[in-house]
Structure formats: structure tokens, C-alpha cells
Structure 1
Amino acid sequence: SAVVTSCSNCGTTTTPLWRRSPLGETICNACGLYYKARNTTRPVCNVATASTAATMSTSSAAPEDLANLICANCQTTTTPLWRRDEAGHPICNACGLYFKLHSVRRPITMKRSTIKRRKR
């Protein structure tokens, strides 16, 4: 039978890198990095289980949700990145960047029908 290595702090059996605690115990990469950064052991309540991780990844916006977004400023439906204004309404990338730079809403007259990509 194979020996299953587990973290002495959180109990996980999978990690990209096994480390040693200051006491010489085997700990996972996450617990080792936490200890190295904060000089204290990683709280076990912070450990994300597989079901928690799956829930977190599925809670992000689904593609069909992005399809019906409309910019609260210029009413466009196409943008490479959706942002939010001060009130929390969805705004397009152009309106968001304009507001960040000038602290005023982007004039509707600046709206273009096509997205101009930069070549870098």
C-alpha cells in the first residue's frame, strides 16, 4: 500500500509542492507560503474545499448574462470589457476609461460604431 502524504496543518493530500514547517512537519504549499508571509500557521477555516472552489468559479458572469448588458452611458452592447460606474450600473470599457481619466461622463458624440483595436 502506498503512503499518502497529508498536510499536518490543513490535512490536504494534494499540493504542487510539499514543504516543511519550522517544527519539521510536512505541510502543503499553501500553508508553507502562508507561514512564510505571516510567520503564523494558516487557519484551517481558510481552506477551500473542492465544492467551495466549484461554487466560486460558477458564480462569475455567464456568457448569456454578458450578452444582454447595455452601457448605462452610451447604450452600446459590445465592448471588450464591462465596467461599473459609481452607482454600480454596467458601463462599456470606453465610458469607464473616459470617466477615470476626466472625472466626467463620456459624451454620446464620442461613440463609435466599431471597436478600434490597438496593434502592439
Structure 2
Amino acid sequence: MDLQWKPEYNTGCERIDHEHMVFMDLIREFVDEAEGGRDSRALRTISQEIYKYADFHFFSEERMMARIGYAGLAEHHAIHQALMAELREYNDSLAMDSSLAIKVAEFLVCWFKTHTVTEDTKLATSMSGRS
């Protein structure tokens, strides 16, 4: 699974872009571990770190949205909550069956690419309209 930074991931907000880059690095680390057939303990540790970082990042992003009066905040928050619930389920499953690591890796890559390009682009457009 290839996960490299692309121009379409840029939101135009330096802080969000930096957080997205850190998030991508964590996902890439998980993918490398999963593809390398690492032990289940290493996979669970990085997946827990991803969960904690995502929680932080979503809080940070939503705080920015609230500060600028972003009209889509409630919807974006609901999407964040759904993603976190799905990640929590994957983490619970991974704890019981490390063979699911590739499935979790695919979810994380898809999540990052889709959410960043679709939902976070809406935020970037709103933020640039306020500059």
C-alpha cells in the first residue's frame, strides 16, 4: 500500500497539514508493520497510538472549526466520531486476531485519503474564504 504525501492532501492550513503529515507517518508505520508480518503486540501498540493521535487531531481540527464558525462543524464532528468508533472496533478485533492487520491497514489508508481529500478540503475552502 502506497501512502505518500500528495498536493491534494494540502488544506492550506499549516497546522492541519502538519498534523495530517504526522498522522500519515503513523499510518505508514502501521502498514509497514502489517505488510512485514510483525508480531501482534507491535501492531496493537501502533494502532493504539494511531487511535490516540486521531482523537487529538480531530479535537484540534474541530476547535479550529469552532473558532472560525465553520458551518459544517456538527456534520464533521459526527464523521470524526464514526471514524473513531470504526477504528476502535478494528483495534479490538486486532487484539484478538492479528491476521486482520492488512484489513486494518487498508481501512487506515482509505480513511486518510478519503477524509482528507473530501471533508478536510471543505474546511480548507471555508478557511481560505475567511482570509
- Give the TM interval when normalised to the shorter protein: under 0.3
Larger radius of gyration: 1
Please report the TM-score for the alignment, with normalisation by the length of structure 1.
0.27
Please report the TM-score for the alignment, with normalisation by the length of structure 2.
0.25
| Higher share of residues assigned helix | 2
| Higher share of residues assigned strand | 1
